[in-house]
Amino acid sequence: MKKSAAKPVMSPRTQAIHGEFLSKSWEFSHHLIPPMTASTTFRLESLGRGAEGFNTFGAPADGAKPIWIYDRLEEPTTKMLEDQLALLEKGECAVAFGSGMGAIASTLMSLVKHGEKVVAHKTLYGCTYSLLTNWFPRFNIQTTLLDVNDFSKLEQELADPATRVVYFESVSNPILEIADLEKIAKLVATANKKRKKDKQIYTVVDNTFATPWALRPRQWGIDFVIQSLTKNISGFGTEMGGAVIASQEFESILRVARKDFGAIIHPYSAWHILVYGISTQAIRFEQQQSSAQKISQFLEKNPKVQSVTYPGLKSHPQYKLAKKYLKSPEGDFAPGTMISFQLKGDMKKCQKFVDDIAKNSYSITLAVSLGLTKTLIEVPGFMTHSGIPDDKRDECGIDPRAIRLSIGLENANDIIADLTAALKKI
């Protein structure tokens, strides 16, 4: 069998389908589709091999044949998913987890210690906010929240010796701000020149809203890229998963963290994400994105709508940054599949509208999550971001009346018809 490695000349669209073509993790070269493993433990041919597997876990020698030991350490289907994610996110390695939160918590715990500090963007997914503000302080890890695009404040924080991580979402959930990744990475690199190797600051970016189809943060100098695989990458609303993509030097610590924290992905989910999710992501994303553009323009023109935020609209406050960073691997503008909007009027009006959608809409479902084949609507202030205390919502930039839409694969005109019907009733 001659075919072996991913061909760098092939486009990411093609690589998303064929991956590495033949993987070291895949012993069944006659299969067209990668096998799904279903064994929690693996037969070892000798004690020596078993000992070697434990000794080299997380950092096997280059070109070494993998030694599979136990599911929680590493297993073939997950490894194939990881190799595919690393390829698409332009990383040297990827480590997959049982959820996006598993990936975020394990990555941060690998990088920050007692007495050290995370500097994070003020608007974050609700559970990430809770992790940083409720849980980390128990281990004496503090978080300073700021606007990461406010460079003078960021520089001040980078000068604090306790700062070890700058954390943000490339496109923020739920208000779709665009982080200036290149500038932030450069400021961190400058601060790092004055720091010792064991005190370096790392950039960690949650790229879930953008997905690798719209943004590859590592190309802009970001160290760690997080994905909630539960969302657009898996795409069908059937699997949970998360991943971190990084350079080789961090593979070992990330794998050991996953082993010890236990936040593994089930091979069944890894298989579905690899076989169904990744290979169809580009085409789903593009279709959803083209509908999102149309729907955001419709909302912007509706007299009952106060404001619409969508990176594909010229009215987006950071349209220039959106044009710079949000691009498909093929170079096309890729403003994404998520819309945030507010109606004119108070919270009661917002509630009436959303309840009407929940009850009467065919194409739009009131539900959390995003990036799925079905269009979803939610009110972050009371749902996904309810972990943020009421008195902190303003600081975090979350208006309680803001409505989030994740556009699915339905006909855009049907989604518009359902929105129109609900808007008429308020």
Ligand X SMILES: Cc1ncc(COP(=O)(O)O)c(C=O)c1O
Between residues 192 and 369, which has the closer beta carbon with respect to ligand X?
A: 369
**Least spacing, CB of residue 235 vs ligand X, in Å:** 13
> Is residue 269 near ligand X by the rule CB under 6 A?
no
Q: In the set 37, 84, 106, 173, which binds ligand X (CB under 6 A)?
A: 173
Residues 13-52 as x/- pattern, contact with ligand X by CB under 6 A: ----------------------------------------
**Least spacing, CB of residue 181 vs ligand X, in Å:** 15
Binding residues among 330-389 for ligand X as defined by CB under 6 A: 384
Contacts of 219 (CB under 8 A, 6+ apart): 90
Per CB under 6 A, the segment of 94-102, 105-113, 291-299, 328-336 that binds ligand X is 94-102
> Is residue 279 near ligand X by the rule CB under 6 A?
no
Between residues 299 and 376, which has the closer beta carbon with respect to ligand X?
A: 376
> Is residue 125 near ligand X by the rule CB under 6 A?
yes
Strand pairing category for 338-343 and 364-366: unpaired
> Is residue 176 near ligand X by the rule CB under 6 A?
no
Contacts of 111 (CB under 8 A, 6+ apart): 164, 165, 202, 204, 224
Distance from C-alpha of 193 to C-alpha of 224, rounded to nearest angstrom: 19
The backbone torsions φ and ψ at residue 254, rounded to the nearest 5 degrees and listed phi first, read: -70, -40
Residues 231-250 as x/- pattern, contact with ligand X by CB under 6 A: ---------x-x--------
**Least spacing, CB of residue 398 vs ligand X, in Å:** 13
Per CB under 6 A, the segment of 1-9, 77-85, 148-156, 201-209 that binds ligand X is 201-209
**Least spacing, CB of residue 418 vs ligand X, in Å:** 23
> Is residue 107 near ligand X by the rule CB under 6 A?
no
Between residues 165 and 423, which has the closer beta carbon with respect to ligand X?
A: 165
Between residues 112 and 175, which has the closer beta carbon with respect to ligand X?
A: 175
Sign of the four-CA dihedral 340, 345, 351, 355: negative
Binding site for ligand X (CB under 6 A): 99-101, 125, 169, 173, 206, 208-209, 228, 230, 240, 242, 384
